[in-house]
Copies of this chain bind each other. A is one copy, B any other.
Amino acid sequence: MFEFRIQRTAGPARAGTLTLPHGEVKTPAFMPVGTHAVVRGLSAHDVRRTGAQIILGNTYHLHLRPGEEVIQQMGGLHRFTTWDRPMLTDSGGFQVFSLQGLRSIAEHGVEFQSHIDGTSRTLTPERAMEIQWQLGADIAMAFDHVVPGQSSPTAACEGMERTLRWLDRCKARHAELADGRTGGQSLWPIIQGGIHDELRMRSLEGTLERGPWTGIAIGGLSVGEPKPVMHRILERLEPSLPKEIPRYLMGVGFPADLLEGIARGIDLFDCVAATRNGRHGTAWLPTGRVNVRGASLKGSTEPLDPTCDCETCTTYSRGYLRHLFVVEDMLGLRLISIHNIRFLVRLGELARTHILNGTFDGWTREWLGRHYARGD
């Protein structure tokens, strides 16, 4: 079960419908991150109530705890978590390459030490496929060689070329696991190449040569490079990206990043910022960010965001939310995370509506204009 239909476009921006084994995803869409088989602090019911249509699981973390064998024996990631809608797992590449000093890279794969118990582990393209197969998400990601944010052309080229060679191995192993059956888990490749346009284009060409694919991801962005550089690369890639498959910009983003990405043809996003900010008491509002601990919220009976339809904004007052942070009750963390996720999910819904109505360009320009004028 895999289908992607585009309902309407607005320049590069697209309103589509992605059909996966566990259901439909109306795009553009934000995917909350469920690092440890849980969107931090939230029940599957909480996440469903935000309108999220698809969530992400982290292969690296799930491999360490509880282990893919345990999850498979318990019926897969969907049954384990009780999340019954579509799910995507990353390959673990981003996490193991982030383990500076705890990992060594070779053509075969990456040896690393668990950050939990120090045990030695190896992740290869084949293992990344096997683990994700056992987890059983709708979409598995290829195992990629991720280089630091502003790597030299030489380092970025090495990572990009290895990612292509590893893609061959991922594709072969994934095909073996699928064993001719269709309609199950899809494998999506990842474009690398750092901040270097020509490397990015070569990565895209090499990736497409190895296709066809049912979706394509852009990795290694939003890792410290200036925003205009990310925008430039998206603009450079966009005309050459296949129109008929969804595009996923990995690890992005903050509210403005979503709109900037959608305007450049991106369909899917994921980022931990919504929940991380939520746990720190920072809420995203149409009028800018607010720290929920702030004294100005004391005694306020107003909702956090009067324009928001989330559980937090339709139920609780600013004064009560502030009180929960003051007394350090974990309900506060949860309620702000719920709001921030709903904020991004709703931004995707709004963008989609404006694309369908033919009003996307004006709306985005106005939204981003207000955003940048505030200097958020």
Residues of A whose CB lies within 8 Å of any CB of B are 36-38, 40-45, 61, 65-66, 70, 73-75, 79-82, 298-299, 301, 311, 315-317, 319-320, 323-324, 326-327, 329-331, 333-335
Cβ contact within 8 Å between B320 and A37: yes
Nearest 10 CB-CB pairings of A with B: A36-B327, A330-B330, A41-B330, A70-B299, A38-B329, A66-B323, A74-B301, A74-B319, A38-B331, A82-B315
Copies per complex of this chain: 2
Q: State in angstroms the CA–CA spacing of A61 and B329 once bound together.
A: 13
Q: In whole angstroms, how far apart are the Cα atoms of A41 and B46 in the complex? A: 14
Give complex CA distance A45, B301 in Å.
19
CB of A7, distance to nearest CB on chain B (Å): 34
11 of the cross-chain contacts (CB-CB < 8 Å) are A37-B320, A37-B327, A40-B330, A41-B331, A43-B331, A70-B299, A74-B320, A80-B320, A82-B315, A82-B316, A330-B334
Q: How far is the CB of A321 from chain B (nearest CB, A)?
A: 11
Q: Is the CB of B317 within 8 A of A65?
A: no
Q: Give bound CA distance, A70 to B37, whole Å.
A: 39
Chain B residues with Cβ below 8 Å from A323 are: 36-37, 65-66, 80
Question: CA–CA, A334 to B301, complex, Å?
Answer: 26
Q: Shortest CB–CB separation between residue A335 and chain B, in angstroms?
A: 8
Residues of chain B with a CB closer than 8 A to A299's CB: 66, 70, 73-74
A65 touches B333 (CB 8 A): no
Tell me the nearest residue of chain B to A299, going by C-beta. Answer: B70
Contact B66 A326, beta carbon cutoff 8 Å: yes
Neighbouring B residues of A331 by C-beta, 8 Å:
38, 41-43
Give A61's nearest chain B residue, CB to CB: B327
Q: In whole angstroms, how far apart are the Cα atoms of A317 and B61 in the complex?
A: 20
Provided the pairs A38-B331, A41-B331, A331-B42 are in contact, do residues A65 and B319 lie with their beta carbons within 8 angstroms?
no
Residues in chain B near residue A73, CB distance under 8 A: 299
Chain B residues with CB below 8 A from A61, complex form: 327
Query: In the bound complex, how far is the Cα of B316 from the Cα of A316, in angstroms?
Result: 27
Return A37 CB to nearest CB of chain B, in Å.
Answer: 7
User: From A40, which residue of chain B is reached at the shortest CB distance?
Assistant: B329
- The answer on a CB contact under 8 Å between A66 and B319 is yes
Q: A81 to B316: give the CA distance in the assembly, Å.
A: 8
Bound CA–CA A327/B317 (angstroms): 31
Partner of A298 from B70, B79, B333 at Cβ < 8 Å: B70
**Closest B residue to A44 using CB positions:** B315
A304 to chain B, nearest CB (A): 14
Q: Chain B residues near A45 (CB, 8 Å)?
A: 311, 315
Closest chain B CB from A274 CB (angstroms):
16
Chain B residues within an 8 Å CB radius of A298 = 66, 70
Beyond the given A43-B311, A70-B298, A80-B323, please list 9 additional residue pairs across the A-B interface where CB-CB is below 8 A.
A36-B327, A38-B324, A38-B327, A43-B315, A44-B315, A45-B311, A65-B326, A66-B298, A75-B301
